[in-house]
Structure 1
Amino acid sequence: MVERYLAGVAVDGSNPFAGLLKAYRLCRPYGLYFPLPMNTDIPETSGPEPASSPAPETLDADAVDDNRPLHDEDERPKDRLWDMLCILTLIIGGSFLYIYGAGSYSLWDPWEPKYAQTVIEMRQQGEYITPYYEGHVRWTKPIFVYWAMMVPMSIGGNTELMARLPSAVAAVFGLLLLFYVVRRLFDRRTGMMAACILGTMPQYFYLARQAMPDMLLTVFLIGALGLFAVGRFDAEKRPWHMRIGYVFIALAVLTKGPVAGALVLGVCGLFWLIEFVPRTHLHWRRGPAALWAMIRFYQVIPGIVILVLLTAPWYIAMYQKHRGEFIEKAIVYENIERFSTPIRDHTGTVSYYFSTIFHGMYPWCGLLPVALCCVLFGFRTINDELRKRWFFVAWFLAVFLLFTMAGTKLQHYLLPIAPAVAVLTALVWRAWFQADMPFWVRPALLISILFLMLPIRDFDLEGDRWLWDNFTNKRNIDNIDVQPFLDRLLIIWSVGMVLATLINRSRIIAGATVLIAYANGMYFCHEVMPTQDVERSMAAYVEYYKSHRLDETSDLAFYGKHRYSTAYYCYGMDDDTLHYYSRSEPENLAEFAHNQTEIYIITEKKYWQRLYAELQKHSGKSWYYVSREHPRYWLVTNTPKDERRAGDAPE
């Protein structure tokens, strides 16, 4: 066979190595040569080209037929009807999971109240460029998340639903985006499975109901990376896919800052490293021609123009207004220092995000380890089918490695990895639907039961706090026992996986697994989350103070670590009625309370005895409990509101 290839290779007389290089490229075993993208207009050296890589043998006729791209001329109306049905299902299911009931509980500490109050202050000051929180510039995040929240809050009022609406709507849009991307790259069934898997991951549906920028960032990354992949592997409307991808990158940068651009470069860089570097020594003669072809192919020049037009105005305006302070705090501190060193004690070891994946993405996380090992298996040659899969592996690895290397770690930082996990898991189900199902699929389904036991085990042994450790804070679920539900979930999921090993290509079994995961989301979104309201916000204490105080001159004091929901729900009150005292200032609070006819105090539970001793020293008044429902904070007052006196409290 080598001789047959060599016979067709013309050796350029001016370069005696050209023929050898060409022969090496044609004869390279097992498809380790990664060809250039199609239609790059790069001139080839003389000699015949190798035949295009055949489809992998693992794909059967039904899968190939179902893999027709959306733009095929012979697409039947029935196919479009199925696409519309999938889209409608995702919209209805996502809306009921994310939007419905999102305003039934108050804004949770520590992040939601700060974003919502920043929007309120910006509107009241007529400031739409610089975010302000409690009268000071808030450098933490760029402007887009505040603009997104400002629109519904201006229309529907400063309510919890309006504050969370951008995240909830973005989550639904993210499902549609992922369905579109995977539908074009693979097939409709895989696209639907990927969207359903993503939408029923606990971390995804939780952050869809939080007024935070992480969901917006994740959706913009789905648009940027997903459309780049579509443009890379699908010649239909390639320039438009690429350019819209740059629009999503710009929105991501305006949402999360330069780190969003670093994520895109990390994913694409890892993908390009594997795709292009092995052939560099074979195309050394091309030089600028190859580089220019890649620039044209990926629409780099129009992309740079789009990025500059969309992102530069805000960054320039902020620099002109705040000068060096903007560079120092918004760029250096919030990006470079966050990556290089832990900020505000948000630290973690190398294994930090391993638990995040399993605890925040169950029950689908059980299939991920096998998916990473096996979705690239079974290909004798390198073809576009394999490259598509490698793109999502690169997405997973790049995001995981970047955040693992970062000094500052928080669980919700890893949300941008969820779409890649969803697609890789959906590819396992794609293999399960094939007539000649690969040998590794059945063991993968059974092994997934064992991997699912890991987070369930942590929930059993470590307590329910693990459920929230992977979201936004580390508080226990104290007023509801979720363990029986999780145990039943494990049993039902195990039964489903066993049935899937016995019966493949069953739409009923695949749909049942999606419904199991959806039921998990419904339970936590509509049953558990509303019950945690009093434990994750000061809203109930503030509302009680407002409704039961003698008059508007009655004071409210906060003793201990500041909770941002207190400031949010007190916003608009007379500044002279709200007072903050740190843990080291019990004497100052006691002196102030001595002269007040009526005062309410929100105090940290573990510091109450110290404060109570100072109150008794400076005043002979009695103190009464109002509420002790919050696990860390109590509400007390010096007017009789409860039969039990506060002095009777245990330490």
Structure 2
Amino acid sequence: MTTTTKKHLLIILVSGILLFFLGNSSIAITDPVESNYALTASEMFTSGDYMSPRIYGNYWYDKPVFFYWELIAAFKVFGVNEFAARFFPALAGVTGLVMVYGFARKIYDARTGLFSAMILGTSFEYWLIAKMVITDLSLFLFFNAVLVFFYLAYTSQNKKYYYLCYLFAGLAVLTKGPIGILLPGFIVTVFILWRRDFAEIKHMKWFGGMAIFLLVGGSWYYIMYQLHGQIFLDTFLGIHNMLRATVSEHPQFDVWYYYTAIFFLGFFPWCFSLPLVIRKYWKKRQWPVLDQTTVFLLLWAFLVNGFYQCMATKYTTYTLPALMPSAILAARLLYTQERLVKHLVAFSICFYLALTLWVAVPLCNSSYSGRSIAIALQDHVQDGDMVINYGDYKASVVFYGHKTVYNLKHANELEKVKPKAMSWSSKNVMPFISFEDLPGNKKLYIIVDKSKRNDFAKAFKANDWKLVETLPKAVIYYRPAQ
């Protein structure tokens, strides 16, 4: 390892630690997404069953198991807390910077590698997701590693790199599902077709590679099918894969420009590089001459965005893998602009540190998490008391409070919200109770979303309930046993 490489890696590691680890122990677990992952992993940890994800005491087939294993490992080492929950996403964030540095350095040079890593690390979406308790940074790592090792194998005599493609495809499938091999495979296929290099197919180590892929990526699925049968396949593949692709979970976001807007927001502040490219070649009135590596990077970026644009359900995080080739392409464009890159990186690091300490920490603690609700309940709720929720249900209250919280509905609403096959209601796995079935022989505590406070006053006799505590986003009442 050269002195230059050591210096670059030190810069990357220090920057990554500052960006992705600082403040993590003070950022509360937020709803609705982070809390589902954290609660599932904590229930698996407590039960000792590390194979079958579960939440609210029920088996939960929303995502494969690998990210839960990461959380459980962190809980074992650091305890069940915010720092532990955010440890592996942050670690994946740092590892992703090292990966893009190594790849860009290999296909171009060390300067491009350093610029690529710093551009990626200071891109808004990458920074944000590296601090979140979700699967996407782990998927970013494995998904992009498939394409990294494909291209290294394709452009060298060392075809053993292909074995690593299958290994990381298996890990990607174990993290997110079939997309972990289907989309990288699609990108590779389009690139081979563009090159018309069909002879390369016979060098791709199919027999040994597929054995690695099936062992790493398929074993858990086989075990889950043996344990839970058809319901596992129907729920995981049917609802959380096919349904997402064909029926929009959030129809308001299913618009043609969605991922274009996400690119400019997620690649901030480096998104200005794209208009620079367009302006440059518009003035020349000619298309750029593209070499093989540039084409591969462009296909990688555009096909990720194009694929997800065709899917009915759209999430801001889906196209995260496209940021890696985008960062390398931006690094090449800004190759001679060292001063600009340094200043923008320094500004971005300071900006994100301020955003962490002065925005993320207070905002997540006060507005997007039920931690304060759980703390308030701990001072009052005794064994045998019942806790119910009226309004926006927060899994984080269960994570922090370690108590069952029932979601309150009218009896005629229960059938609409309870889980059903091939429906988005299948995600409603929290325990429900109706107004009509509230027990009279138990002390009841109710968490009322402030937006539902007037509805609560109409639905209940106000004199029956006593105010316990008023919080920024909720009010807690109790009713004594009758």
The answer, yes or no, to whether TM exceeds 0.5 is: yes
Contact 1:371 1:424 in 2 (8 A): no
Distance 1:562 1:510 in 2: 44
Corresponding position of 1:579: 406
For the pair 1:307 / 2:213, whether they are aligned, the reply is yes
User: Structure 2 counterpart of 1:259, which letter?
Assistant: I
Q: CA deviation at 1:381?
A: 11
Distance 1:620 1:313 in 2: 57
Contact 1:118 1:131 in 2 (8 A): yes
For the pair 1:423 / 2:311, whether they are aligned, the reply is no
Distance 2:8 2:94 in 1: 13
Corresponding position of 1:531: 362
Given candidates 181, 187, 192, the residue that maps to 2:114 is 192
Contact 1:182 1:194 in 2 (8 A): yes
Corresponding position of 2:162: 242
Q: 1:148 to 1:521 in 2, by over 3 A?
A: same
Corresponding position of 2:343: 512
Corresponding position of 2:242: 336
Q: CA deviation at 1:179?
A: 0.3
Q: CA deviation at 1:552?
A: 4.3
Corresponding position of 1:294: 200
For the pair 1:540 / 2:372, whether they are aligned, the reply is yes
Given candidates 59, 63, 74, the residue that maps to 1:137 is 59
Contact 1:99 1:209 in 2 (8 A): yes
Q: CA deviation at 1:426?
A: 1.1
Contact 1:109 1:564 in 2 (8 A): yes
Per-residue Cα deviation, 1:170-206 (whole angstroms, up to 9, x for no partner): 1100000000000000111111111111111111111
Contact 1:185 1:233 in 2 (8 A): no
Q: TM-score, normalised by structure 1?
A: 0.65
Contact 1:626 1:637 in 2 (8 A): no
Q: The residue matched to 1:106 in structure 2 has which SS?
A: coil
Distance 2:373 2:38 in 1: 19
Per-residue Cα deviation, 1:267-296 (whole angstroms, up to 9, x for no partner): 21222222217xxxxxxxxxxxxx5x4234
Contact 2:377 2:401 in 1 (8 A): no
Per-residue Cα deviation, 1:491-529 (whole angstroms, up to 9, x for no partner): xxxxxxxxxxxxxx5x33331121122222222223211
Alignment length (residue pairs): 459
Distance 2:231 2:384 in 1: 39
Q: The residue matched to 2:52 in structure 1 has which SS?
A: coil
Corresponding position of 1:624: 467
Q: Please, which moves more after superposition, 180-189 or 522-531? A: 522-531
Given candidates 388, 391, 400, the residue that maps to 1:557 is 388
Q: Which has the greater radius of gyration?
A: 1
Distance 1:161 1:172 in 2: 16
Q: 1:358 to 1:531 in 2, by over 3 A?
A: same
Contact 1:190 1:429 in 2 (8 A): no
Distance 2:30 2:149 in 1: 34
Distance 1:220 1:211 in 2: 17
For the pair 1:357 / 2:277, whether they are aligned, the reply is no
Q: 1:596 to 1:84 in 2, by over 3 A?
A: same
Q: The residue matched to 1:600 in structure 2 has which SS?
A: strand
Contact 1:178 1:222 in 2 (8 A): no
Runs of 5+ unmatched residues, structure 2: 415-431
Q: The residue matched to 1:561 in structure 2 has which SS?
A: coil
Corresponding position of 2:315: 410
Q: 1:168 to 1:372 in 2, by over 3 A?
A: farther
User: Structure 2 counterpart of 1:582, which letter?
Assistant: K
Alignment of 1:37-186 (within 5 A): 80-186=2-108
User: Structure 1 counterpart of 2:455, which letter?
Assistant: R
Corresponding position of 1:566: 397
Corresponding position of 2:419: none
Given candidates 361, 380, 395, the residue that maps to 2:300 is 395
The root-mean-square deviation of aligned C-alpha atoms, in Å, is 2.9
Distance 1:375 1:181 in 2: 27
Percent identity of the aligned residues?
Answer: 23
Q: The residue matched to 2:28 in structure 1 has which SS?
A: coil
Q: The residue matched to 2:469 in structure 1 has which SS?
A: strand
Q: 1:299 to 1:372 in 2, by over 3 A?
A: farther
Distance 2:381 2:170 in 1: 52
User: Structure 1 counterpart of 2:470, which letter?
Assistant: S
Distance 2:208 2:280 in 1: 37
Runs of 5+ unmatched residues, structure 1: 1-76, 278-290, 434-504, 640-651
Distance 1:570 1:404 in 2: 39
Alignment of 1:425-444 (within 5 A): 425-430=330-335, 433=336
For the pair 1:613 / 2:458, whether they are aligned, the reply is yes
Q: Please, which moves more after superposition, 170-179 or 347-356? A: 347-356
Distance 1:336 1:622 in 2: 45
Q: CA deviation at 1:312?
A: 2.2
Q: CA deviation at 1:254?
A: 0.7
Contact 1:364 1:425 in 2 (8 A): yes
Corresponding position of 2:423: none
Q: 1:352 to 1:625 in 2, by over 3 A?
A: farther
Corresponding position of 1:13: none
Contact 1:163 1:211 in 2 (8 A): yes
Alignment of 1:247-258 (within 5 A): 247-258=167-178
Distance 1:223 1:334 in 2: 24
Q: CA deviation at 1:605?
A: 2.2
Q: 1:405 to 1:552 in 2, by over 3 A?
A: same
For the pair 1:635 / 2:476, whether they are aligned, the reply is yes
Contact 1:372 1:424 in 2 (8 A): no
For the pair 1:233 / 2:155, whether they are aligned, the reply is yes
Contact 1:375 1:428 in 2 (8 A): no
Contact 1:395 1:417 in 2 (8 A): yes
Higher relative contact order (CA 8 A, sep 6+): 2
Q: TM-score, normalised by structure 2?
A: 0.87
Distance 1:347 1:591 in 2: 37
